[in-house]
C-alpha cells in the first residue's frame, strides 16, 4: 500500500546509508556541494539506529545497498559503470552488484527448477552446479542436459523477490508524490511517471517467460550483426521462474586482465559495444537496456556476447528519428538544428526562445569537442544539462528513460575498456548511416507508401462509414451539436476523397 507507513522505509534508507558509512562515501565520490552533504547527514544522523546493519564484512556502499534490497541494488549497478561520476574506486567496488551478490541456497534453486519443470532436477540434468553468478533478481547455475550432454545456463528467480520489489516500489511512489507536493518545480520531471516506468520494467524482469521472448526477438533482429552473438533459449524447459539457455563461454567484459590475456583489442571492443547499442536502438527500436559488464562476455573468437534480457528498451520510429537528429546535430555541432528538433518534437514548450535554447545547448556540447575524452566530466555535463532542461521547462520523457539510462551505462562500459573512448566520435558513423537511410527523399517516399497502404485498407469500409455518419446527422439533436455534425460530415467527405485517392495511388505504386 502506498500510504504514510512508507515514511519509515524512506527514513530507514537514509539511516542505513548513514549507519554503514555509505552516506559520506557517496557524497565524497559524487563531489556533492556542502549544503547537500550537510542536509542529508542532518536528516539521517538522528535516525541511524533505525538503519539496517547489513553485512559488516562488506565495504560501506555494498553493505548499505545490499541491506536495502533489490531496487537499490539496481541503482548501484548503474553507478558501477560510471567511474567518471563516482570515481574509479567506488565504481570498481559496486561491480560486485552486477553478478557477485550473495547467492541463495542451491537446494532452494533446485526445488524451484523441479517445480517449474514438473520432474526432479536429476531427471533433466546430469550435472547442476552451485550458483556461479548472483544478481539482485536471480542467480545462474551451470548445468548439463542429461539427454544431449549440452552445457546450459539455468536462471532461477530469488525466493520472495516479488514482495521485496513491491515494498520498495511502494516507498518510491510515496516519495514521488511527496516531491510533487512539496516541490512544484519538480513536477516537470514527472516523478510518479518515472516510478511507474521503473515498475513496468521490474515486472518484466520478474517473469522469465517475457525475458525468453525478448531474447528470441533480439536474436532475430541481430542475426546479421558481425561481432555480436546471443545464447539460444530452450523454450521447452523455461517458465515464469526458471529460464534455460545455452552456455556462453568467454572472458567477462569487466575483467580487463582476462580480455588482454585472450589477445583482444579493448579499444576496438569499447567502440563496438557503443556502436552495437546505437545500431539496435536506431535501426530496430529494440535494444538491450541492461548492458553493464555483468551481462556481457567476449567470446574466444572476439564476438561480444550479451545475455540477461530482463530489461529491454523499445522506442517507436518517430522517436528514433528525433533522437537520431538530436545526436546528429551534436555530432555536427549544429546546435540550432538540435534546438529546432526539440521544439518540433514538443520536448520544449513552444513559448520558449529557440535561439536562446540553441545557445544553452552549445554550452553543453562544446566542452566535448577538442578535449581529451578522459578529462570530460560526464557528471558535470549531465548536471549542466539538467539545469538547461529545468530553465526551459522540459518535461521528463518517460519513453526515453531507458534509452538515456542505457546510453550512460554503455558509455561507462566502453570507457572501462578504454578511458580515451569518445562517444561522439564513435557514434558518428552509426548515426550518419541511420540519417542517410531514414531521413531524406528516400525515406519520404517510403513513408508515403506506408501511408497509402494504410488508407487503402479503409476503402471497403467507406460506404458504411458514410451511411453511419448520415444516419447520426439526421437524428434530432440541439442545433449547436447539429452544426458540429455537419462539420464532421464535411471532414468525413474530405477523408473519403483522400481515401479514394489513396486506393488508386496504392494500386499504381504499391
Domain count of the chain?
A: 4
Closest CA to 193 of 16, 429, 498, 201: 201
pLDDT at 303 exceeding the cut of 50: yes
Please indicate, yes or no, whether residues 357 and 223 belong to a single structural domain of this protein. Answer: no
| Separation of alpha carbons 265 and 243, rounded Å | 33
* CA torsion angle 436 439 443 444 (round to 10): -150
Classify residue 47: in a domain, yes or no.
Answer: yes
Calculate what percentage of the chain has a pLDDT beyond 90. 27
Q: Give residues with Cβ within 8 angstroms of 90, minimum separation 6.
A: 25, 26, 29, 61, 79, 83
Q: Is the pLDDT of residue 282 over 50?
A: yes
**577538442: which residue's cell?**
370
**Structure confidence at residue 181 as a pLDDT band (50, 70, 90):** confident
Q: Is the pLDDT of residue 384 over 70?
A: no
C-alpha cell at 167: 515494498
Residue 402 lies in a domain: yes
**CB-facing half-sphere around the CA of 406: CA atoms within 13 A:** 25
Please, which residues have CB within 8 angstroms of residue 463's CB and are 6 or more apart in sequence? Answer: none
pLDDT at 453: 66
Q: What is the pLDDT of residue 289?
A: 86
Q: Which of 10-14, 72-76, 223-227, 365-369 has the lowest mean pLDDT?
A: 365-369
Q: Can you list the pairs that 496-503 forms with residues at least 24 positions away whose Cβ atoms lie under 8 Å?
A: 496/462, 496/465, 496/466, 498/455, 499/455, 499/456, 499/458, 499/459, 499/462, 500/459, 500/462, 502/451, 502/452, 502/455, 502/456, 502/459, 503/455, 503/456, 503/459
**Which one of 392, 409, 439 terminates a domain?**
439
Beta bridge partners of 111: none
Top-ranked range on mean pLDDT: pick from 207-221, 315-329, 477-491: 207-221
What per-residue string of b and e applies to 31-54 under the rule 16 or more CB within 10 Å gives b? Answer: ebeeeebeebbeebeebbebbbeb
Q: What is the distance between the alpha carbons of residues 370 and 395, in angstroms, rounded to a whole number?
A: 31
Same domain? For 284 and 233 the reply is: no
Highest mean predicted confidence (pLDDT) among 84-98, 125-139, 322-336: 125-139
- CA-closest candidate to residue 278, choices 213, 323, 330, 340: 323
Q: d(Cα 73, Cα 79) in Å, to the nearest integer?
A: 10
Q: Which one is predicted more confidently, 344 or 11?
A: 344
Residues 413, 267 share a domain: yes
Of 276, 294, 293, 285, give the one whose Cα is nearest residue 312. 285
Q: Clarify whether residues 12 and 149 are in a common domain.
A: no
Is the whole-model pTM more than 0.75?
Answer: no
CA 292 – CA 77 distance, rounded (Å): 8
Angle between helix 462-474 and helix 479-509 axes, rounded to 10 deg? 170
Look at residue 223 in the predicted model and tell me its pLDDT. Answer: 93
Domain of residue 85 covers 6-98
Q: Return mean pLDDT, the chain.
A: 78
What pLDDT shows up at residue 32? 62
Asked if residue 123 belongs to a domain, the reply is yes
Position 170 in a domain: yes
List 99, 168, 170, 290, catalytic entry? 290
Task: For residue 112, give the C-alpha cell.
Answer: 524451484
Residues 395 and 454 in one domain: no
**Considering the domain boundaries, does residue 424 fall inside one?**
yes
Query: CA-CA distance, 400 to 354, in Å (whole number)?
Result: 22
Q: What is the pLDDT of residue 345?
A: 82
Residue 485 confidence (pLDDT) above 60:
no
> Quick one: 279 and 428 in the same domain?
yes
Q: Is residue 190 part of a domain?
A: yes
**Which residues are CB-contacts of 122 (< 8 A; sequence separation ≥ 6)?**
none
The whole-number average pLDDT for the span 447-471 is 66
Q: 400 pLDDT exceeds 90?
A: no
122 and 42 within one domain: no
Asked if residue 1 belongs to a domain, the reply is no
Mean pLDDT of 66-93: 73
Does one domain contain both 219 and 328? no
User: What's the confidence (pLDDT) of residue 404?
Assistant: 74
C-alpha cell at 164: 521485496
Domain identity same for 118 and 153: yes
- Is residue 160 over pLDDT 90? no
Q: Which residues of 423-435 are buried (b: 16+ CB within 10 A; e: fewer)?
A: bbebbbebbeebb
The predicted structure's pLDDT at residue 372: 61
**pLDDT reading at 201 higher than 70:** yes
Interacting residues of 50 by C-beta distance below 8 A, sequence separation 6+: 8, 11, 12, 15
Q: How far apart are CA 162 and CA 85, in angstroms?
A: 31
CB-CB contact of 233 with 153 (8 Å)? no
Q: 238 and 285 share a domain?
A: no
Q: Is 290 a catalytic residue?
A: yes
Would you place residue 245 in the very low, low, confident or very high pLDDT band (cuts 50, 70, 90)?
very high
Report pLDDT digits (tens) over 93-150.
777 776 678 888 999 999 999 999 999 999 999 999 999 988 888 899 999 999 999 9
Tell whether 292 and 416 lie within a shared domain. Answer: yes
- Do 81 and 157 fall into the same domain? no
pLDDT(240) > 80: yes
Q: What is the 3-state secondary structure (H, E, C) of 146-199?
A: CCCCCEEEEEEECCCHHHHHHHHHHHHHHHHHHHHHHCHHHHHHCHHHHHHHHH
Among the candidates 439, 465, 489, a domain finishes at 439
Give the residue-averaged pLDDT of 437-466. Answer: 65
pLDDT confidence of 63, banded at 50, 70, 90? confident
CA 182/CA 184 separation, integer angstroms: 6
Highest mean pLDDT among 15-29, 405-419, 490-504: 405-419
- The verdict on residue 93 lying in a domain is yes
Amino acid at each position: 500500500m502506498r500510504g504514510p507507513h512508507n515514511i519509515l522505509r524512506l527514513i530507514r534508507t537514509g539511516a542505513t546509508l548513514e549507519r554503514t558509512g555509505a552516506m559520506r562515501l557517496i557524497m565524497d565520490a559524487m563531489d556533492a556541494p556542502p549544503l547537500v552533504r550537510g542536509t542529508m547527514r542532518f536528516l539521517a544522523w538522528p535516525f541511524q539506529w533505525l538503519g539496517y546493519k547489513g553485512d559488516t564484512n562488506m565495504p560501506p556502499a555494498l553493505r548499505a545497498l545490499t541491506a536495502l534490497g533489490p531496487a537499490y541494488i539496481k541503482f548501484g549497478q548503474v553507478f558501477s559503470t560510471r567511474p567518471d561520476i563516482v570515481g574509479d574506486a567506488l565504481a570498481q567496488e559496486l561491480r560486485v552488484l552486477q553478478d557477485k551478490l550473495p547467492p541463495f541456497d542451491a537446494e532452494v534453486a533446485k526445488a524451484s527448477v523441479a517445480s517449474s519443470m514438473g520432474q526432479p532436477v536429476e531427471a533433466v540434468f546430469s550435472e547442476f552446479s552451485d550458483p556461479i553468478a548472483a544478481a539482485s533478481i536471480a542467480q545462474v547455475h551451470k548445468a548439463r542436459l542429461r539427454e544431449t550432454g549440452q552445457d546450459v545456463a539455468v536462471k532461477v528467480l530469488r525466493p520472495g523477490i516479488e514482495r521485496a520489489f513491491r515494498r520498495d516500489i511502494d516507498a518510491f511512489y510515496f516519495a514521488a508524490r511527496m516531491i510533487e507536493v512539496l516541490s512544484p518545480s519538480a513536477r516537470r520531471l514527472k516523478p510518479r511517471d518515472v516510478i511507474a516506468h521503473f515498475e513496468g520494467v521490474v515486472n518484466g524482469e520478474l517473469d522469465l517467460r517475457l525475458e525468453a521472448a525478448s531474447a528470441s526477438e533480439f536474436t532475430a533482429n541481430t542475426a546479421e550483426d558481425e561481432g555480436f552473438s546471443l545464447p539460444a533459449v530452450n523454450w521447452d524447459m523455461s517458465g515464469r521462474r526458471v529460464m534455460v539457455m545455452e552456455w556462453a563461454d568467454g572472458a567477462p567484459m569487466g575483467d580487463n586482465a582476462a580480455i588482454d590475456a585472450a589477445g583482444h583489442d579493448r579499444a576496438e571492443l569499447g567502440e563496438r559495444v557503443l556502436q552495437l547499442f546505437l545500431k539496435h536502438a536506431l535501426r530496430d527500436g529494440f535494444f538491450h537496456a541492461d548492458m553493464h559488464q555483468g551481462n556481457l562476455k567476449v567470446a574466444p573468437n572476439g564476438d561480444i556476447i550479451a545475455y540477461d534480457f530482463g530489461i529491454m528498451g523499445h522506442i517507436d520510429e518517430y522517436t528514433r528519428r528525433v533522437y537520431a537528429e538530436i545526436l546528429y546535430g551534436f555530432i555536427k555541432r549544429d546546435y540550432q538544428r538540435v534546438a529546432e528538433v526539440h521544439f518540433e518534437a514538443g520536448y520544449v514548450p513552444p513559448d520558449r526562445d529557440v535561439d536562446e535554447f540553441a545557445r544553452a545547448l552549445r554550452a553543453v556540447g562544446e566542452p566535448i569537442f577538442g578535449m581529451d575524452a578522459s578529462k570530460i566530466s560526464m557528471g558535470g555535463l549531465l548536471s549542466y544539462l539538467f539545469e538547461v532542461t529545468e530553465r526551459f521547462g522540459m518535461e521528463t520523457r518517460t519513453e526515453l528513460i531507458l534509452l538515456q539510462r542505457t546510453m550512460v551505462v554503455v558509455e561507462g562500459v566502453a570507457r572501462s575498456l578504454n578511458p580515451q573512448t569518445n562517444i561522439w566520435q564513435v557514434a558518428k558513423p552509426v548515426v550518419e548511416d541511420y540519417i542517410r537511410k531514414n531521413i531524406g527523399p528516400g525515406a519520404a517516399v517510403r513513408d508515403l507508401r506506408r501511408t497509402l497502404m494504410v488508407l487503402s485498407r479503409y476503402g471497403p469500409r467507406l460506404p458504411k462509414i458514410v451511411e453511419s455518419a448520415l444516419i447520426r446527422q439526421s437524428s434530432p439533436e440541439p442545433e449547436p451539436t447539429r452544426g458540429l455534425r455537419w462539420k464532421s460530415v464535411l471532414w468525413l467527405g474530405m477523408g473519403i476523397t483522400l481515401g479514394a485517392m489513396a486506393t488508386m495511388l496504392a494500386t499504381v505504386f504499391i
